[in-house]
Homo-oligomer: A and B are copies of this chain.
Amino acid sequence: MATAAQAAETKVAIAIHGGAGTILKANMTPELEQAYHQTLSAALHAGHAVLQRGGSSVDAVQAAIIVMEDSELFNAGKGAVFTHHKTNEMDASIMRGDNLNAGAVTGVTRIKNPIKLAAAVMEQSNHVMLSGPRAEEFAQSVGFDFVDPKYFYTERRWQQLQKVLQESPDEVRLSEQAHDQVSAAKSDTIWPDDNKFGTVGAVALDKDGNLAAATSTGGMTNKKFGRIGDSPIIGAGTYADNQACAISATGHGEYFIRAAVAHDICARVMYQGVSLQQAADAVIQQKLKVMTAEGGIVGMSKAGDVVFSFNSSGMYRGYINVKGELKTAIYQTQ
């Protein structure tokens, strides 16, 4: 296996997020904070190991996301929130920057790692986006194992649903943001981030100079009507183009779709000639703020520069950059 120094020569890098929103240190226990840092680090190491041994950015972002999907800490995979129908319905998407190929799934309930199914859609079908139970027929046709939906039961997410149901049982038009605010305001949970847009994401640059981006989510607590957010939407939650950048977004999904966040950042880099940080800030700190939308992105430039931009008090995040330096962070100022 290559050393970190060798990896630096070939300019590989990876960066991740675990959701953005109101995440305050005042509400965080030292133990929980440590758990988040540890899992973010584990995800980064898993993705970086793929890059170090010469693997592709597509494989690296999957490896990182699988660690977060397998953790109860994040709203994706094992830690997915419950819908109004007491189910866990997950979305994921992935895109490669060399040929703009992409894959996405929405509303899957029996796939342990939805990001792997999104990758299978990209690599083993001629489609980009598959939805619902029939997406699982595709999964079966390409050899995926199914898990019992009970695998996704966690006490924390079940209690979140119960609180929302008690507080707004018949509310039809309540938004994701409103749900989370209700939940956070009236809850006595020890969790510091119930008012958070739960998503995980990763971007990476591999030794061949190829970018990739991927995003996975359990959606919103008490989700109704088969709502689809930005995470599985290529151009909104996920985009990668070797000519510009790779982006994974997390936030109030409806606004992120309307602003085509991931593609808009790439487009500004390509067509305005601004830096990735400038492009990301223009969208997250200006355009989305005017729309009153909360959230953020992790991005990677074609040179391997890691960029974060978020307009909320916190975003779980981290990177291993082209120098092999690892950093994880949670709050806005650190």
Contacts and interface: CB of A to CB of B under 8 A. Distances in A.
A173 B224 contact: no
Contact of A235 (B133, B175, B229, B263): B263
Contact of A106 (B131, B178, B239): B131
B126 A254 contact: yes
Given A100-B291, A257-B102, A257-B129, A135 B225 contact: yes
A14 interface: no
A100 B264 CA distance: 14
Contact of A263 (B107, B226, B264, B291): B264
A178 B224 CA distance: 36
Given A130-B227, A235-B236, 13 more contacts: A107-B132, A125-B172, A125-B225, A126-B254, A128-B257, A128-B258, A129-B229, A130-B226, A131-B226, A132-B226, A137-B225, A141-B172, A235-B235
Across chains A and B, which 7 residue pairs bring their CB atoms closest together, nearest first?
Answer: A134-B226, A126-B175, A267-B267, A271-B271, A131-B226, A235-B260, A235-B235
Interface of A: 95, 100-102, 106-107, 124-135, 137-138, 141, 172-176, 178, 224-229, 233-236, 239, 253-254, 257-260, 263-264, 267-268, 271-272, 291
